Amino acid sequence: MAMAFGADAREWVIRSIGTTARSFEIVQLKGSTTSSVFLIQCSQGSKPQRFILRVIDNQEWLADEPDLVAHEAAALEEAQKAGLRAPRILACSSEEVGFGAPVVLMSFIEGNVEIQPSDFHGWLDGLAGELSLVHQHRANTFGWCYLSWVDKTALAPPKWTAIPHVWERAIDLVLNTAPDVHSVFIHRDYHPTNVLWRGGVVSGVVDWISACRGPAGVDVAHCRINLAKMFGLLAANQFLDAYIEAADGFEYDPYWDIDSLLDVCIPQPTFYPPWQEFGLDIITSEVLKQRVDKYLESVMMRI
């Protein structure tokens, strides 16, 4: 969907990308749920140019994290420093520049989200291998550190579960002290719709706005619970096996799987709308609950 922004917005984009083109199009992209993301297309001579613009228009998120622009800009710079397949930061502004909210302008990466691959095992290997590259970077001076997204003040087994006793054990485990592990650069929201593919291989990873220093297991767990909901337990376990093979020295700890599951699946697991936008059939609430219970049982058996 093409969007019409005012003269101030267009002038800011022109200055930021350094183009003399006066005719360009701003198209809203699908798949974003926490902010609005746009593709900017313009032509300078015969050469087309494309850029990505995030408009951080989620006021609740901004109130909770007022440094979102600085955070994403720093994360993209850190990713570039590490040589990762991530967008490059081009410009940003926490002030009003015509979009009605803070903005981050970044480079465009060729590729598409793929969640129905023809080679499923190869796809899982690619997801795992790319994540292992992210975790090779220590990011010792990066200014944002991992915090759990789980509200631990009132945790209880959900009413819908068929295995409340297993949830009780899992909650008891998470309420104890988190494992003491060394920190690396983590994406913090690594899952299939934040990974781009081209020609059967990963071409880029996007949405770095939550990146931080933290345990590698946090990213692995977040991707695993997404895979468990999308495809079932086998896919989540195959991804873990692929990551362990790709990441030298990684020590798996079920704690992070439980923490991520509690974050994503309480009060209940839901179908993530971008999955349908990228081609996955709707999964019923009952199937999601069954998959999550089965996944949790598997995780607890690893302890």
95 burial level (CB within 10 Å; 0-12, 13-18, 19+) = exposed
Q: How far is CA 227 from CA 54, 128, 146, 190, in A?
A: 26, 12, 22, 11
* Predicted model pTM: 0.96
CATH architecture classification, 112-301: Alpha-Beta Complex (3.90)
pLDDT at residue 30, as a whole number: 86
What number does CATH give the domain 2-107? 3.30.200.20
Q: What angle do CA 226, 232, 236 make, to 5 degrees?
A: 60
pLDDT at residue 103, as a whole number: 97
Percentage, residues of the chain above pLDDT 90: 86
H helical segments located in 104-188: 120-135, 164-175
84-123 pLDDT per residue, tens: 999 999 999 999 999 999 999 999 999 999 999 999 999 9
pLDDT band at 32 (very low <50, low <70, confident <90, very high): confident
235-292 pLDDT per residue, tens: 999 999 999 999 989 999 999 999 999 999 999 999 999 999 999 999 999 999 999 9
List the domain boundaries for the chain. 2-107, 112-301
Confirm if 32 and 55 have CB atoms less than 8 A apart: no
pLDDT band at 25 (very low <50, low <70, confident <90, very high): confident
Give which of 179, 189, 147 is closest to 251, Cα–Cα.
Answer: 179
187-224 pLDDT per residue, tens: 999 999 999 999 999 999 999 999 999 999 999 999 99
d(CA 279, CA 116): 7
d(CA 133, CA 83): 9
